[in-house]
Amino acid sequence: MLYFILRRTVFAVVLLLAVSLCTYVLFSALPSDPAALTCGKNCTTEVIERNRVRLGYDKPILEQYGLFMEGIVKGRTYGPGEAAVHCPAPALGYSFKRHQCVTALISRSLPVTISVSVGAFVLWMLLGVGLGVLAALKRGRWQDRVATGFSVIGISLPTFFVALLAVLIFTVWWPVLDFPSYTGILTNPWKWAKALVLPWSTLAVVSASTYVRMTRNGVIEVMSEEFVRLGLAKGVRRSVLIVKYVLRAALVPIVTIAGLDFAALLGGAVITESVFNLPGVGKLAIEAVVDSDLPVLVATTLVAAAFIVLANAVVDVCYGFLDPRVREG
């Protein structure tokens, strides 16, 4: 198992380096001049050239990438002399639009996105897997029809519609929530939770729908296996059989989807953060697109890619625990 984990870790590191190179080269190949994007319309040619040298855009692309990766490890100083700006490691660039190191911007936005992602993930897994198991065990009954109906409705509705509907119902028609601004969990846990209830619920309703169907189908398929009937015939309690064997086998394909969905949320729940005005990574990326802030856009893209790559590695390791045959491959 240790060799399996080590192999997956090395593969994840190599893949992450490849993704970072492709992302950096792709954004550098855009037709717009990245140095000209560092100041407004009235920016002079001299200022553009100084910014080009200051940010290293005057160097070849591969050398720029090398400096970028070196900055992640050691930190990086932008510009010479007294006007130089130093960004400590991991340095993901410097934003002339905001006059801040990109790492500082992401470090302020990432806790918001993590709060949204973790809460929504826990809620939709409990809701999706729970309703899916209930629907499978009560196949053909009203519980099955209710869970299936919830799944169909959730899949049919887009995220932005559910978010706007939640705001309309719970802040306008039935004002039980006053739609507070985001507050850190250490500052005020109550306001933190209150600001995230609607985002969590929105993502849970939309995302849990897929898990209801997958869990239901998986449990029904496993329940028809020979070892389940054999266990029941030998007197093994139905609850023990379901929890210890059926769910373990049925949840193997769900692990992949769950890991990737969680990584996508960590990369930035763009629509949800925008609707609920949450200062997360997704909203930061949208603002970077609007402001043509290339360093921030590159950094947020790399952060999202890193989460997806790491999630794939974690999913592979979880596969190894759930199914020993994977470790032998």
Q: What is the pLDDT of residues 283-302, one digit of tens each?
A: 888 888 888 888 888 898 88
Q: What is the pLDDT of residues 245-282, one digit of tens each?
A: 788 778 777 877 888 788 878 776 788 888 888 888 88
Nearest-angstrom CA–CA distance, 147 and 212: 7
Of 90-99, 126-135, 164-173, 233-242, the one with minimum mean pLDDT is 233-242
Q: Provide the pLDDT confidence category of residue 102 given band limits of 50, 70 and 90.
A: very high
What pLDDT shows up at residue 326?
56
Domain boundaries, the chain: 12-102, 108-327
Q: What is the pLDDT of residues 114-143, one digit of tens each?
A: 999 899 999 989 999 889 988 988 888 898
What pLDDT shows up at residue 103?
92
Kindly state the tokens that stand for 134: 């209930």
Residue 308 has pLDDT above 90, yes or no: no
What pLDDT shows up at residue 323?
62
What pLDDT shows up at residue 322?
63
Q: What is the pLDDT of residues 236-245, one digit of tens each?
A: 787 778 877 7
Architecture in CATH of 108-327? Orthogonal Bundle (1.10)
Q: What is the pLDDT of residues 199-220, one digit of tens each?
A: 998 888 888 888 998 888 888 8
